[in-house]
Structure 1
Amino acid sequence: MRRTRFTRRFAVALATVAALAGFASTPASAETSLDWDAAVAGLRTAAAGNPAAEQAVGRLIASGQRADEVALPAQPFQIPAQSDIGRGTGPGVYGSGIALGLDGFRFGFFGGPGTISPNQAGAKLEVVWFNISNGRSGTNILSEHQDIPVDTTIRTGVLDTGPGLIVAAVYGSLWHRWSVPVSDAHPDGYQYQLGTISVPSFGAVSN
């Protein structure tokens, strides 16, 4: 349902981590605190030449939010995303990025109203990331999602980030849906809504 609480979504998202692919936390690196200036400088480097990624990083910096702690995989990003639909009641807090590991490092996203639609035509959710420890970086699309109730996340494929401290920002747009009575307007029994991220979800994670 559209009014499902964000905290319950996160609990189910973590269950999905285990149920779908055996994801689990990886051992912590020595880094536990984050140099914010180095983090945003790394994201600027990773985003260079990609206008959408550059704008997303710019909006993150302009928001005035900062993070100073490092998480492990299967923990939500420190800064949640903001969007034009929020959690379904108007603009505001929307959802969070998440890092997943063990079968291979991935980024994911969960949140927003209803559930993630299996059809993402016309939407594009992406993550820009930078490994501060080794200089690797990339921009990847989040497109892996199974149309089953337990799957509350949408994810990248496995990424070769290498070990170390990785900073990332999830931005773009995502289709959601929730059940409604079947009608001419909703022949499949679903209402659909597109969420567009205004401020990306930022995370710093040890891989």
Structure 2
Amino acid sequence: MRHSSVRPARAVAGLMAVAALTVGGAAQVSAEAPAPGAVQVDWQQAVQRLRAAAAGDPAALQAIDRLVTAGAVPAAAPAALPAQPFQIPAQSDIGRGDGPGVYGSGIALGYDGFRFGFFGGPGTIAPNQAGARLQVVWINLSNGRSGTEDLVEHNDVPVDTTIRTRALDPGAGMIVAAVYGSLWHRWPVPVSDANPDGYQYQLGTISVPSFGAVYN
């Protein structure tokens, strides 16, 4: 099942290179691509803009609130450019397979159009995601476009380590996004009555979203 919504510009206003937010003066965000190197990211402003973009979406709002409550958002921090994965990784109930903790990261992809993706967790991403739902909420700080998307595209081959959204058109500029929800993983085990297809499956539920800033 695919769900997506894109909201037009509003007042709250790949592998591709991921850029950071450059903030100066009265919290203005530059619409120009930053030069390669380390820049300061005003993460507190970024998460508040993202929360405004998520208005009316209870699941997205709850995910962002968990991000803030967990203290995962620094006041300001440098981000290396380019940095393809989101700068703040997700936390989940299964972590990387050895208990709750760091789970994986959102990512910006651009090999066939702009997409959001996610990688991480134990084993590989299961081809059947029934009962799970992984989503991303995003806002382009340069043009005000925003939306939510399901991450549903994945090829069941060893080289495909991500699950992705459809190709999007967020427009040019600075984009902040958070990935939240749940995701099925699997890894090979001996065939048995409990594992007739030779795989063990585990559902990961994100407790603290992966959060990042990218440049399109």
Q: For 2:176, which of 147, 167, 175 is the aligned residue?
A: 167
Show structure 2 runs of 5+ residues with no match: 1-13, 20-32
Once the two structures are overlaid, the 10-residue window that deviates more, 40-49 or 127-136, is 40-49
Which structure shows the higher helix fraction?
1
Once the two structures are overlaid, the 10-residue window that deviates more, 187-196 or 38-47, is 38-47
Aligned counterparts of 2:123 and 2:17: Cα–Cα separation in 1: 30
Q: For 1:189, which of 190, 198, 206 is the aligned residue?
A: 198
Question: What's 1:3 paired with?
Answer: none
Aligned counterparts of 2:53 and 2:82: Cα–Cα separation in 1: 21
TM-score by length of 2: 0.80
Q: For 1:149, which of 155, 158, 161 is the aligned residue?
A: 158
Aligned counterparts of 1:162 and 1:71: Cα–Cα separation in 2: 22
Q: For 2:51, which of 44, 49, 53 is the aligned residue?
A: 44
Q: For 1:57, which of 64, 68, 75 is the aligned residue?
A: 64
TM-score by length of 1: 0.84
Question: What's 2:186 paired with?
Answer: 177
Q: 1:70 to 1:134 in 2, by over 3 A?
A: farther
| Aligned alpha-carbon RMSD (Å) | 1.8
Q: 1:83 to 1:162 in 2, by over 3 A?
A: same
Describe how 1:1-207 pairs up with structure 2 within 5 A: 23-26=14-17, 29-30=33-34, 32-66=39-73, 68-70=77-79, 75-207=84-216
Q: Deviations over 1:11-52 (max 9, x none)?
A: xxxxxxxxxxxx443596137432223211211112111111
Show structure 1 runs of 5+ residues with no match: 1-22
| 1:145–1:153 CA contact under 8 A, matched in 2 | yes
Which structure shows the higher strand fraction?
2
Q: Residue 76 of structure 1: CA displacement?
A: 1.2
Aligned counterparts of 2:44 and 2:99: Cα–Cα separation in 1: 32
| 1:26–1:102 CA contact under 8 A, matched in 2 | no
Q: Deviations over 1:169-207 (max 9, x none)?
A: 000000000001011111100000000000000011111
Aligned counterparts of 1:163 and 1:69: Cα–Cα separation in 2: 22
Work out which of the two has the higher radius of gyration on C-alpha atoms and give 1 or 2. Answer: 2
State the secondary structure of the residue aligned to 1:43.
Answer: helix
The total of aligned residue pairs comes to 185
- Percent of aligned pairs sharing the same letter: 74
